[in-house]
Chains A and B, each alone.
Chain A
Amino acid sequence: MKNRLRVLRAERNWSQADLADRLQVSRQSVNAIETGRFDPSLPLAFKLAKLFDARIEEIFEAEPERATLSQ
Chain B
Amino acid sequence: MPLFACRNDRFSPLQRRSMAMFGGLMILAVVMLAFVREAGEYSLVSRPLLIVLDLLPAFPIMLMIGVVSRYLTRETDEFIRLLVMQSLLWAIGTTMVADIVLAAFFDSPRAVHFAVMFNIDVFCIAAMTALSIQLRRAQ
Residues on A lying within 8 angstroms of B by beta carbon are: 24-26, 28-29, 31-33, 37-38, 40-41, 44
Contact = CB atoms under 8 A, between A and B. Distances in A.
Interface stretch (B41-49, B57-65, B72-80, B116-124): B72-80
Contacts of B80: 25-26, 28-29
Q: For the side of the interface on B, what is the size category?
A: 10 to 19
A31 B80 CA distance: 12
B139 interface: yes
B139 A40 contact: no
Nearest to A23: B77
B139 A31 contact: yes
Contacts of B138: 28, 31-32, 37
B111 interface: no
Interface of B: 76-80, 82-83, 135, 138-139
A51 B80 CA distance: 21
A43 to B, nearest CB: 9
A42 to B, nearest CB: 11
A33 B135 CA distance: 14
A41 B139 contact: no
A13 B77 CA distance: 23
B79 A38 contact: yes
Contacts of A31: 138-139
Nearest to B79: A29
B80 to A, nearest CB: 6
A24 B76 contact: yes
Contacts of A26: 77, 79-80
A41 B76 CA distance: 12
A25 B139 contact: no
A38 B82 contact: yes
B79 A32 contact: yes
